[in-house]
Amino acid sequence: MKAFIVGASGLVGSHCMSVFKDHNWEVLGSHLSFATEHTVPFNFLEDDLEKLFATHSFYPDVIIHCAALTNVDYCENNVDESYEKTVLPTEKIVDYCRLKNVGLAFISTDYVFDGTSGPYREDAKVNPLNVYGKHKLECERLVSTLDTNLVLRVTNVYGEEARSKNFIARLISDLQNNVSKELNLPFDQFATPIYAGDIAKMTLMLIEDNKKGIYHLAGNDYYNRYQLAAKVGSYFSHNKLHLTPVKTSQSNQAAVRPLNGGLLNIKFLGEYPKFTFENVDSFIFKVTKHEL
Ligand SMILES: NC(=O)c1ccc[n+]([C@@H]2O[C@H](COP(=O)([O-])OP(=O)(O)OC[C@H]3O[C@@H](n4cnc5c(N)ncnc54)[C@H](OP(=O)(O)O)[C@@H]3O)[C@@H](O)[C@H]2O)c1
User: What residue type is assigned to position 145 of the chain?
Assistant: T
Ligand 1 centre to CA of 114 (Å) is 22
Kindly state if the Cβ of 68 falls inside 6 Å of ligand 1.
yes
- The answer to whether residues 197 and 83 belong to one domain is yes
At residue 64, the pLDDT reads 98
Contact 266/214 with Cβ under 8 angstroms? Answer: no
- The answer to whether residues 177 and 62 belong to one domain is no
The pLDDT confidence band at residue 252, using thresholds 50, 70 and 90, is: confident
- The answer to whether residues 35 and 61 belong to one domain is yes
Domain-embedded: residue 269: no
- Overall domain count for the chain: 2
Kindly report, residue by residue over 139-178, the tens digit of the pLDDT. 999 999 999 999 999 999 999 999 999 999 999 999 999 9
At residue 288, the pLDDT reads 83
At residue 291, the pLDDT reads 58
Q: What is the mean pLDDT of residues 241-258?
A: 94
Residue 241, domain CATH:
3.90.25.10
Kindly state if the Cβ of 109 falls inside 6 Å of ligand 1.
yes
Ligand 1 centre to CA of 29 (Å) is 13
Question: Residue 290 and residue 52: Cα distance in Å, rounded?
Answer: 42
At residue 237, the pLDDT reads 86
Q: Whose CA is nearest to atom 43 of ligand 1?
A: 7
Q: What is the mean pLDDT of residues 267-273?
A: 98
Kindly report, residue by residue over 90-121, the tens digit of the pLDDT. 999 999 999 999 999 999 999 999 999 999 99
Question: Residue 207 and residue 211: Cα distance in Å, rounded?
Answer: 6
Q: Which residues contact 150 (CB under 8 A, 6 or more apart)?
A: 103, 104, 105, 106, 203, 206, 207, 211, 212, 213, 215
Domain-embedded: residue 268: no
Domain-embedded: residue 270: no
Query: Whole domain around residue 47: which residue ranges?
Result: 2-158+192-216
- The answer to whether residues 203 and 63 belong to one domain is yes
- The answer to whether residues 118 and 172 belong to one domain is no
Q: Whose CA is nearest to atom 10 of ligand 1?
A: 107
Other CB atoms within a 10 A radius of the CB of residue 245 amount to 17
Kindly state if the Cβ of 44 falls inside 6 Å of ligand 1.
yes
Domain-embedded: residue 28: yes
- The answer to whether residues 247 and 134 belong to one domain is no
At residue 65, the pLDDT reads 98
Asked whether residue 1 carries a pLDDT value surpassing 70, the answer given is yes
